Amino acid sequence: MPRTVAIVQARMGSDRLPGKALKPVLGRPLLEYLIRQLRYCERLDDIVIATSDLPRDDAIEEVVCRLGGSVFRGSELDVLDRYRGAAAACDADRVVRITADCPLMCPTVVDRTVDDHAASGCDYTMNDVPGTLPRGYDVEVFSRDTLNKTHGIARRTADREHVTYYVYTHPEEFSINRFRDAAFPRFPTDRLCVDTQADFEAVKAVIENVYDDGRYMHHTDVLEFLDANPEIVRINSGVAQKGINKADLQAWRVQME
Task: Write the CA distances from 139 to 56, 66, 85, 100, 116, integer angstroms.
Answer: 27, 25, 20, 12, 12
Q: What phi-psi label fits residue 19: left (phi over 0), alpha (psi between -120 and 50 degrees) or beta?
A: left
In a domain, 78, yes or no: yes
When divided into structural domains, the chain yields a total of 1
Residues spanned by the domain of 90: 4-184+245-256
pLDDT, position 245: 52
Which of the four pLDDT bands, split at 50, 70 and 90, describes residue 135? very high
In a domain, 212, yes or no: no
CATH number, residue 99: 3.90.550.10
Q: What is the pLDDT of residues 170-186, one digit of tens each?
A: 999 999 999 998 888 89
Amino acid (one-letter) located at 15: D
Q: What is the pLDDT of residues 93-118, one digit of tens each?
A: 999 999 999 999 999 999 999 999 99
In a domain, 236, yes or no: no
In a domain, 15, yes or no: yes
pLDDT, position 181: 85
Mean pLDDT of 3-18: 95
Q: Is pLDDT above 80 for 255?
A: no
Q: Which residues contact 246 (CB under 8 A, 6 or more apart)?
A: none
Note the pTM of the prediction, 2 decimals: 0.93
Mean pLDDT of 48-60: 98
Q: What percent of the chain has pLDDT over 70?
A: 94
> Up-side HSE of residue 227: CA atoms within 13 Å toward CB?
9
